[in-house]
Amino acid sequence: MEVTATAYNSLPAQTSKIHPNITAWGDSLAPGMKVIAVSRDLIPLGLDHNTPVKLQGDSTTYIVKDKMNPKWTNRIDIYMGEDKERALEWGRKKITIHFRVRKDSTKIE
Residue 103 located in a structural domain: no
**What residues in the chain have per-residue pLDDT under 70?**
103-109
Can you say whether the dihedral through the CA atoms of 13, 65, 101, 56 is positive or negative? positive
Q: How many domains does the chain have?
A: 1
d(CA 92, CA 87): 10
Q: Determine the 3-state secondary structure of 45 from DSSP.
A: helix
- Predicted local confidence at residue 107, as pLDDT: 52
d(CA 23, CA 3): 21
- Predicted local confidence at residue 11, as pLDDT: 77
CATH number of the domain to which 43 belongs? 2.40.40.10
Contact 94/15 with Cβ under 8 angstroms?
A: no
Residue 68 located in a structural domain: yes
- Predicted local confidence at residue 92, as pLDDT: 97
- Predicted local confidence at residue 21, as pLDDT: 85
Residue 43 located in a structural domain: yes
Residue 106 located in a structural domain: no
Residue 78 located in a structural domain: yes
Q: What is the reported pTM?
A: 0.87
- Predicted local confidence at residue 109, as pLDDT: 40
Strand partners, 63: 35, 52
Q: Which residues contact 104 (CB under 8 A, 6 or more apart)?
A: none
